[in-house]
Structure 1
Amino acid sequence: MQKVMLEKAKTLEPRNPNKSTKLFGGESSGILNWNDIAYPHWYKMYKRLVGNYWQADEVNMSSDVKQFSTLSKEEQDAYLKIIGLLSTLDAPQTRTALLISLYATDPSVQSIMAVIAQQEAVHNESYSYVLSSVVSWNEQNEAFQLGRTDELLLKRNEQLTEQYNAFVDNPSMENMLKTLVYTSLLEGMFFYSGFAFFYHLARQNKMVGTSTMISYINRDELEHGRFITELFRATLEENPSHNNAEFIDWIYDRFQQSVELEIEWSHYVLNKLEGIDMDDMDGYIKYRANKMLRMMGLEELYPQHVENPMKWVRAYVDNFDGTKTDFFEQKSRQYTKTSDLNGFDDL
């Protein structure tokens, strides 16, 4: 793969055109005219993201305060561990979104990533808000320490951590693309067994405030995943030397490893709970991986898991708009493939 190093985009270059010549490594004045951008439909994505604005303390947690102590020990442990997981994943997303924007020479990407970064900051705040509502400060602190101390969680996050840090140390086009792959995994697959746990509680009228908060986060992450996969595909389209068998094989390898790690983690935190079918959860994780691969324009890894085995989770994502936006529907490439299944129309 050709080694192409990226430079941080200039803040303002008035002699360059307003419409960027490339997403990364191109030329742009830095002036954003939403009516004159390289990928016009991204304005609709920006508007959807902005329209999802919410704040953590708008969610009423009063019933959850009373209910937490009535949960089983297994439910309480899973609750705290999953909040610890989610905070570990969302915290670096604010920084990663801002880092991606620093190297984007397309001002529309800079603006969209700024909104995504702000929403990830709200997500992380919401975990602090949720825990402060239901447990003591010491228990809150223990949950937020899990990303540093839990061996299985460290193992689960190791490759993502390595890739995110590799992009910081070596901002090449290759590492940008690989970071977009891991960001797609994070936004579209890593969170979802945790989300399903809170929806499982809500089905039993338990911790409904928490599940409401999670549904807002879930809705945001679906939009983030939609944009990141399109950004990946557009970047790969603009840099065809990276669109080769070695890189595509790397993607499939990372997806397969990530699915295995996610299944291992979900069994670790959920296996002792009543009412959760772990075979369905395994299938759901593979289904989510297939979904993200299709969104990235690639073939599915798990042909037996193209349908969502846990369709009931769809009821808990508040007013998610499932319309499709697929600029690449008519594009063809040697190693990537699109289909009419690319839309984020199902959880």
Structure 2
Amino acid sequence: MEQVDNYYKAINWNEIEDTIDKATWEKLTEQFWLDTRIPLSNDLDDWRTLKPEEKTVVGHVFGGLTLLDTLQSQDGMAKLKENVRTQKEEAVLNNIQFMESVHAKSYSSIFSTLNTNEEIKEIFDWTDHNEYLQKKAKYINDIYQDGSPLQKKVASVFLETFLFYSGFYTPLYYLGNNKLANVAEIIKLIIRDESVHGTYIGYKFQLGFNELSEKEQEEMQDWMYDLLYKLYENEALYTQDLYDEIGWTEEVMTFLRYNANKALMNLGQNPLFPDTDEDVNPIVMNGLSTGTSNHDFFSQVGNGYLLGHVSAMRDDDYNIGLDDK
């Protein structure tokens, strides 16, 4: 039979160019979940005890997270897939893209359980028109549309490991106070996913960053920190808009700075802010570290997503116990 040219290449998972692709794929598929499996209606009694202004915060927080997960699923992962090193990387990003859609849908499940139709309409109207939320989405999406491959990875890591956390604070706070446990379980499942997404995409960034010349690395670092300052400035205004009425703004900002450092570490960079886990509200840390699932990408022991101290990643951090095949 005459041999034809290679028109299309089949993906071969028996030949692995980068073991991190395989390890991440297995980790993500192992922790697959759907919002329909969480009994959200069990939180209705807790919901009725919240003050009206607290209910408003919860609705707006989840509206904002819905918008950001929509951005990731519709534009972010599609743009990252344009510049992959391996076919397996594209497969991993396909998985991430689907789970971002699951995350976005999960918030609607929360709304349909806790909120009236009129309240849901108000939440999405607020989400679609909030100045700071829309600006945040524009900053990130502009990079997705026009940035370099490495810049797109930075934007994705900043979004998932930093900007989401102004929203994650609220359900973790209530969980730490023994309220809204099932809502918080969804958030912890999302955080578990995002921890893998952020570390994986950060790892892929580091591969490309290490191939740059010293001058190009300095230019990339300058751009990266300038972007972080711009995002942080807007995030401070967004946080004030969300939390000033209930008095949580300063605590949330501490949490944000801590997670901004984690985002930088995912990218192999030095932390910017002095905040550590010891500065974060212990109630939130307690909520964050309580659970039945392992939420730490790098650890195979213990329960919960334990933030711990930020430290630079090493090559062996990516060895999560899987034999190279």
Change (3 A) 1:339 1:323: closer
The question of whether the paired residues in 1 share the 8 Å contact of 2:175 and 2:287 is answered with no
Q: Distance in 2 between matches of 1:225 and 1:249?
A: 21
Q: Distance in 1 between matches of 2:125 and 2:72?
A: 17
The question of whether the paired residues in 2 share the 8 Å contact of 1:293 and 1:300 is answered with yes
1:264 corresponds to which of 237, 242, 245: 237
Q: Displacement, 1:114?
A: 0.7
**Which runs of structure 2 are paired with 1:102-181 in the superposition (5 Å)?**
102-104=82-84, 106-166=86-146, 174=148, 176-181=149-154
**For structure 2, which runs of at least 5 residues remain unmatched after alignment?**
301-310, 319-325
The question of whether the paired residues in 2 share the 8 Å contact of 1:291 and 1:342 is answered with no
Say if 2:264 is the partner of 1:289.
no
Change (3 A) 1:15 1:238: farther
Q: Displacement, 1:156?
A: 3.3
Structure 1 runs of 4+ aligned residues shifted over 4 Å read: 13-16, 238-242, 337-344
Say if 2:297 is the partner of 1:319.
no
By relative contact order (CA 8 Å, sep 6+), the higher-ranking structure is 2
The question of whether the paired residues in 2 share the 8 Å contact of 1:88 and 1:144 is answered with no
Aligned length: 299
**Which runs of structure 2 are paired with 1:31-110 in the superposition (5 Å)?**
31-95=10-74, 96-104=76-84, 106-110=86-90
Q: Distance in 1 between matches of 2:165 and 2:316?
A: 18
Q: Distance in 2 between matches of 1:192 and 1:30?
A: 40
- The aligned residue for residue 183 of structure 1 is 156
Moved more, 213-222 or 69-78: 69-78
Q: Distance in 2 between matches of 1:249 and 1:203?
A: 38
Q: Distance in 2 between matches of 1:34 and 1:237?
A: 26
Q: Displacement, 1:81?
A: 0.7
Q: Deviations over 1:28-59 (max 9, x none)?
A: x6333334232223211111111111111111
Say if 2:204 is the partner of 1:225.
no
Q: Deviations over 1:163-195 (max 9, x none)?
A: 22325xxxxxx2x22111110011101111211
The question of whether the paired residues in 2 share the 8 Å contact of 1:294 and 1:341 is answered with no
Q: CA RMSD in A?
A: 2.8
The amino acid across from 1:32 in the alignment is: I
Q: Distance in 1 between matches of 2:269 and 2:6?
A: 38
Change (3 A) 1:90 1:14: farther
- The aligned residue for residue 209 of structure 1 is 182
Bigger share in helix: 2
The question of whether the paired residues in 1 share the 8 Å contact of 2:176 and 2:287 is answered with no
Q: Distance in 2 between matches of 1:46 and 1:154?
A: 32
Q: Displacement, 1:66?
A: 3.6
Change (3 A) 1:82 1:342: farther
Q: Displacement, 1:155?
A: 3.0
TM-score w.r.t. length of structure 1: 0.77
Q: Displacement, 1:306?
A: 4.1
Q: Distance in 1 between matches of 2:288 and 2:316?
A: 18
Change (3 A) 1:197 1:206: same
Q: Distance in 2 between matches of 1:103 and 1:260?
A: 30
Q: Distance in 2 between matches of 1:105 and 1:14?
A: 22
Q: Displacement, 1:94?
A: 1.2
Change (3 A) 1:98 1:261: same
Q: Deviations over 1:55-84 (max 9, x none)?
A: 111110122234333311221110111011
The question of whether the paired residues in 2 share the 8 Å contact of 1:192 and 1:285 is answered with yes
Q: Displacement, 1:316?
A: 4.1
Q: Displacement, 1:324?
A: 6.5
The question of whether the paired residues in 2 share the 8 Å contact of 1:14 and 1:30 is answered with no
Secondary structure in structure 2 of the residue aligned to 1:297? coil
The question of whether the paired residues in 2 share the 8 Å contact of 1:188 and 1:288 is answered with yes
The question of whether the paired residues in 1 share the 8 Å contact of 2:71 and 2:141 is answered with no
- The aligned residue for residue 309 of structure 1 is 279
Q: Distance in 1 between matches of 2:92 and 2:138?
A: 27
Q: Displacement, 1:126?
A: 0.4
Change (3 A) 1:67 1:313: closer
Change (3 A) 1:40 1:193: same
Q: Distance in 2 between matches of 1:79 and 1:222?
A: 22
Q: Distance in 1 between matches of 2:136 and 2:146?
A: 17
- The aligned residue for residue 322 of structure 2 is none
